[in-house]
């Protein structure tokens, strides 16, 4: 099992220097993996990134949220094509740096919709993501659809919806991606949705209810980690946190990051790494009871 950290803990800039900084800091904090936000796959020199990853020893994944101009669930086939093109470029870039997973809000725009998703929106999304999952399989990359709260998509807000979506694609290379921050808003509890996803769970984000220090909010992590052990989850577990101290111009505004919940990313990262590892150690001890 790999414990990872989202790059936004360290920087808001993901050009070559920004990614190199995030890689170094993620390794220093004790993580096994870095998740790089890939809003623009041409932003960094991929050869330099690959070199930095190799010297750090970190595994790498990538995530992004689509915009209204690249929304693969759009009614407009040109917008769907733009989204599919962007995600294909992300897959190529990720393949060049040895990435293992492309995840996030890749099946819809990451924004507040003002109407429910229609059957056509869902059909467009499923068709595009099915083709992308096939392409990803050729590159040795798994894809995950991240279940987010109602203010960030109108398509997948619960684990149950994500399982139905993944089953409809018919792809074995597409997984459910759960995030504790979003689960805490939409799900009945922190245990059942993990069992609902079961073997289809392929990626996990760990975020607190206010996206700050783990353990300082209302997320029931004890139940969540017990559920991961129950389904024998062994995929990536990635810490995600955002503060207005570290501002990414696209991401931060979309997510509504209006205030500082931390200023020292190094302290936050070390704390999260040990929090997650402690939770896993605690849960694994239950096997001896």
- For the annotated catalytic residues, the residue numbers are 146, 240
Q: Which of 85, 80, 55, 54 is nearest to 68 (CA)?
A: 80
Would you say 124 or 177 has its CB closer to Mn ion? 177
Pick the closest to residue 283 from 203, 205, 221 (CA basis).
221
Closer CB to Mn ion, 20 or 144, in the complex: 144
| Residue number, 128 or 148, with CB nearest to Mn ion | 148
Least spacing, CB of residue 257 vs Mn ion, in Å = 13
Kindly state the tokens that stand for 137.
């399989």
Q: Which of 25, 142, 205, 248 binds Mn ion (CB under 5 A)?
A: 205
Q: Specify the residue, 25 or 205, whose C-beta has the smaller distance to Mn ion.
A: 205
Assigned token pair, 24: 């170094």
Query: Hey, which residues between 137 and 196 contact Mn ion (CB under 5 A)?
Result: 179
Region binding Mn ion by CB under 5 A among candidate stretches 70-78, 108-116, 154-162, 233-241: 233-241
Q: How far is CA 197 from CA 53, 148, 193, in A?
A: 31, 15, 6
- Say whether residue 248 binds Mn ion (CB under 5 A): no
Shortest distance (Å) from residue 286 CB to Mn ion:
27
Please, what is the minimum distance in Å from the beta carbon of residue 148 to Mn ion? 7
Residue (8 or 273) nearer to Mn ion, CB: 8
SS3 214: coil
Nearest to 233 by CA among 193, 186, 184: 193
Q: Give the nearest distance from C-beta 283 to Mn ion in angstroms.
A: 21
CB of 240 to Mn ion, least distance (A): 5
Q: Are 106 and 143 in contact (CB under 8 A)?
A: yes
Q: Which stretch binds Mn ion (CB under 5 A): 123-131, 197-205, 226-234, 264-272?
A: 197-205
Contact present, 114 and 155 (Cβ < 8 Å)? no
String marking each residue 119-138 x if it binds Mn ion according to CB under 5 A: --------------------
Could you list the residues that contact Mn ion (CB under 5 A)? 179, 205, 240
């Amino acid at each position: 099992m790999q414990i990872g950290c989202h790059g936004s803990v360290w920087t808001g800039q993901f050009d070559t220097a920004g990614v190199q900084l995030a890689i170094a800091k993620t390794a220093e904090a004790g993580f096994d993996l870095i998740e790089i936000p890939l809003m623009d796959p041409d932003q960094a020199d991929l050869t330099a990134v690959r070199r930095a990853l190799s010297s750090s020893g970190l595994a790498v994944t990538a995530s992004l949220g689509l915009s209204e101009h690249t929304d693969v669930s759009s009614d407009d086939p040109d917008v769907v094509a733009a989204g599919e093109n962007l995600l294909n470029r992300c897959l190529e870039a990720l393949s060049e740096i040895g990435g293992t997973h492309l995840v996030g809000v890749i099946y819809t725009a990451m924004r507040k919709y003002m109407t429910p998703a229609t059957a056509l929106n869902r059909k467009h999304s499923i068709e595009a993501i099915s083709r992308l999952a096939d392409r990803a399989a050729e590159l040795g990359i798994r894809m995950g659809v991240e279940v987010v709260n109602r203010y960030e998509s109108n398509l997948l807000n619960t684990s149950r919806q994500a399982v139905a979506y993944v089953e409809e694609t018919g792809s074995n290379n597409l997984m459910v991606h759960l995030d504790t921050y979003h689960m805490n808003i939409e799900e009945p509890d922190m245990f059942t949705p993990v069992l609902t996803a079961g073997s289809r769970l392929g990626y996990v984000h760990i975020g607190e209810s206010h996206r700050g220090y783990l353990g300082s909010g209302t997320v029931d992590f004890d139940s969540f980690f017990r559920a991961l052990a129950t389904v024998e989850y062994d995929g990536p577990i990635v810490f995600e946190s955002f503060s207005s101290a570290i501002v990414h111009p696209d991401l931060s505004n979309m997510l509504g990051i209006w205030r500082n919940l931390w200023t020292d990313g190094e302290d936050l990262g070390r704390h999260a790494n040990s929090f997650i590892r402690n939770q896993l150690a605690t849960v694994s001890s239950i096997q001896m009871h």
